[in-house]
Structures are given as C-alpha cells and as structure tokens.
Amino acid sequence: MTTFLPTVTVVILSVLAVCNSELVPIDYDVDKADVMGDAVFTVPLPSDNDYSDQPDFTEGALCYEVQGKTGYSYNLISDRCVTVNSFYNKTTMESRANLIKAISVLVDGESGECHRVKVKRHHCHVYVDGNPLNGTFDSDGIRVQASNHGNKIFVSLPNCLEDGLPGMTLTISCSQAEGEEALELQVTYVDGVRSTSHGLLGQFWNINMTKEPYVGPYRGRQMSAEDKMYKVKILDPVKGDIVRSFLAELEQIQWDGNRLPCLYAGSSQGSSTSKDPDNGNVIEGRYSDYKMDHLSTIDFKYRKYKEGGQCETLDNDDSRPYGK
C-alpha cells in the first residue's frame, strides 16, 4: 500500500472477469481535478498503476455529485494554509439544479498574511483582497492572472509545508451550464498537501484507496462481474484501517463528455445509493457537514486550516450577496 503525494491536477474503470483478485492500491495523482456544472466532481485515478488485467481501463477517475442546497456555501478544499469555498445558487432551468456562482480562496501568503481571491460568475469578475483584479496580482507567493479573453482565472498558491515552493494551482473557468453562467474549478497542480486535508474535493488527496470488482447484493439484485460494479475502500492514512467503503459503477464516459472511464458513485448528495452493507457514503459524513457560514470563512465540521492563522480574523462583510 502506498501513499501518494499529488504532483499535478481534480474529476471516475473496467471490469475484471474474476472476483478473487488482489486489492489494487489507488495512488491518487491530481491531474485536472474538476468541479463543474451542477456541482459534479471528477477525481482522476493514476494511470501508472498496473491495470494490465483491465484492458478497458488505461486512465480514468472517480465521479460523484454533491448538489447541495440553494443559497449556501460549501467547502471544497481545506488544508493547513488554504481554504477553497463555493457558493451554490439555483438555475432558472426546469432541472432546478444548483450551479456554482462564486468561488472564494483564502490562503496564507509567505509572510503569514491572509489573502482572499474571489471569483463571481457574472462576467467572471475577480477580486483580490477586496479589490478588482487589474492585470496580474503577484505578491507574497500568490499569483492571480486572467486569460486574454477573461473567461479563465489562474491562481497559484504557496506551499503549505515548505516555504518558497509552489503549492496549489487552480484554474477557475466561467462557463455555461444548464444554459446559464456558472463557474468550473480545476486543480491543475498540487504539492505540500497533507493526507489529512479535507473538503468535498480535498478529502480524496494524499489518501490510500483500494478498488476491487464487486459481486454481491445491490438494491435488491445480485451483481455479477458483467455488471461492472466496483467496491472502493478508503483507508486511514496512518493506521491503514478501512474508514468507509462504497460501490461504484463503471462507465466509459465522464461528466464532461470525455471518452474516459469513470467510476460513478453515490447519490446526488455524495451519500449512499442503497442500504447494502458494503455501500456507504462517498464523502465523509453528510453534505451539510461542509456548509460554511459565509463564502469567505474557514470554519466547518472538518476544518483543517491551522489554529491561530490570519484567515481566522478575516472580515467577511464583502461576501454578500454570496454570504450564506
């Protein structure tokens, strides 16, 4: 069993003909980790593991949803020096889906000072420390820059563990979902993130996972190898004990239409899809455990931002109208 340190990218394989095979360690490699549309998540699985017995799977991901509740903010990433939150708002389309309308990044700069980057979906407006972005912000180990067309925002953050090294790189895109403007978050580089990181997205970094073909009961029927079901186990990063397990179904297409394998798991809120004993929640706890009081705050049930950090005292007045 190996523990991975993601080195590049966020958004889920093939079926084994036998069910008594060894567990396959999943060494998570962040590469274009993604949150898009009506809050659908894609967490890439590494392509360097030995999948020779799975000819349909060369690279793929874990796919899950957390649709949340309209008008609330939810944490995506929480670690020692950084917090990334999203604001959910409803679409006017008939689907009644929630879209991500704002993203806030709170991060300790190299000086220890807290900085805030906020992107609102309307015309991709960007604010750094409360001020509209004018050109490029490059200070205190943080760089924020818009693309030439202004529809993508690139955010480079310091390393949480080692001074002077790059940490996380985010790409925030202003796109169309459900016929409306929405934000999409891609994590394109990660270093210095601990195995204890958390959030709806961050909890899948630096952890041990295993997958194995699943044959057993599922929603009142008996699954066979031909049903392309997998059992995924999340292991404690220190003790190696099983923290939780859930079932996922292999599809050969991802949320964004890429023809890549994806293990689809969980309900629309990241919870279990059945009461079968092997099928727990995809995310730890419930989606409501990740709700934030404001878009620009650090506290929630699984907070990992360090005690006494400068972002604890941040003034949240400018978080309105995305303040819930």
Distance CA(23)–CA(252), nearest Å, equals 22
pLDDT score at 49 = 44
Distance CA(285)–CA(294), nearest Å, equals 20
How large is the greatest C-alpha to C-alpha distance in the chain, in angstroms?
A: 59
* Token pair of 295 as six digits: 């878009």
- pLDDT (tens digit per residue) in 205-250: 767 778 889 999 999 899 998 898 999 998 887 788 899 999 999 8
Nearest Cα to Cα of residue 114 among 77, 133, 140, 134 = 140
Going through 121-241 in order, the beta strands assigned E by DSSP cover 125-128, 131-132, 136-139, 142-146, 152-158, 166-177, 180-190, 208-213, 217-218, 221-222, 229-235
Under 8 Å between Cβ of 230 and 21: no
pLDDT score at 78 = 95
- pLDDT (tens digit per residue) in 147-189: 888 889 999 999 988 887 888 899 999 887 656 788 999 998 8
DSSP state of 287: G
DSSP string covering 74-123: EEEEEETTEEEEEEEEE-SSTT--EEEEEEEEEEE-TTS-EEEEEEETGG
Q: What angle do CA 85, 282, 67 make, to 5 degrees?
A: 45
The tens-digit pLDDT sequence of the chain (324 residues) is: 333 322 222 322 222 222 222 333 333 344 466 776 568 898 876 544 444 445 444 567 889 999 999 999 999 999 999 999 999 988 776 566 788 999 999 999 999 999 999 999 878 899 999 999 988 999 999 999 998 888 899 999 999 888 878 888 999 998 876 567 889 999 988 887 777 889 999 998 767 778 889 999 999 899 998 898 999 998 887 788 899 999 999 888 888 777 778 899 999 999 999 998 889 999 999 999 999 998 999 999 999 999 888 898 765 544 444 443
